[in-house]
């Protein structure tokens, strides 16, 4: 991995694992929307995965927080052809 990423927690404290030095490529599937992503490896406490701002900004999903539902209705053409419907 060419670049190292300094990791801070949500409360701005340094992550105990330090810099991110590894990532994997994997498919991320949310409802019927599946994309291939780089997933950076670090310690997240009791969480398995955290979705970053860049992903949310890029796909701009409509999220119903009360029903825990996601809809990808605002994707631009540039990412729509890369997504896989399942
Ligand atoms: Zn998208």
Domain membership of residue 41 (yes or no) is yes
Is 10 inside a domain boundary?
A: no
Alpha-carbon distance 60 to 9, whole Å?
23
The Cα–Cα gap between 40 and 75 comes to 23
In a domain? residue 2: no
Give the bridge partners for 28, in sequence order.
35
- Residues lying with their CB under 5 A of ligand 1, a single-atom ion: 59, 75, 79
Residue 18 falls inside a structural domain? no
The range of the structural domain enclosing residue 77 comes to 23-85
User: What average pLDDT does range 4-20 have in this prediction?
Assistant: 83
Establish if 40 belongs to a structural domain. Answer: yes
Q: What is the pLDDT of residues 60-80, one digit of tens each?
A: 999 999 998 888 888 877 776
71 or 84, which is more confident = 71
Residue 14 lies in a domain: no
The answer to whether residue 13 sits within a structural domain is no
In a domain, 31, yes or no: yes
Locate 20 and state its tokens.
Answer: 């991110």
- Percent of the chain with pLDDT strictly greater than 90: 19
pTM (global) more than 0.75: no
- Please give the Cα distance from 21 to 6 (Å, whole number): 9
The C-alpha atoms of residue 80 and residue 73 are separated, in whole angstroms, by: 10
Count structural domains, the chain.
1
Measure 76 CA to ligand 1 centroid, in angstroms: 6
């Amino acid at each position: 991995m060419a670049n190292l990423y300094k990791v801070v927690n949500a409360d701005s404290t340094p992550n105990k694992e330090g810099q991110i030095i590894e990532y994997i490529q994997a498919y991320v599937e949310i409802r019927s929307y599946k994309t291939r992503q780089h997933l950076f490896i670090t310690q997240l406490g009791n969480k398995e995965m955290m979705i970053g701002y860049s992903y949310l900004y890029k796909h701009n999903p409509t999220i119903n927080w009360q029903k825990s539902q996601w809809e990808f209705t605002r994707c631009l053409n540039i990412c729509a052809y890369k997504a896989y419907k399942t």
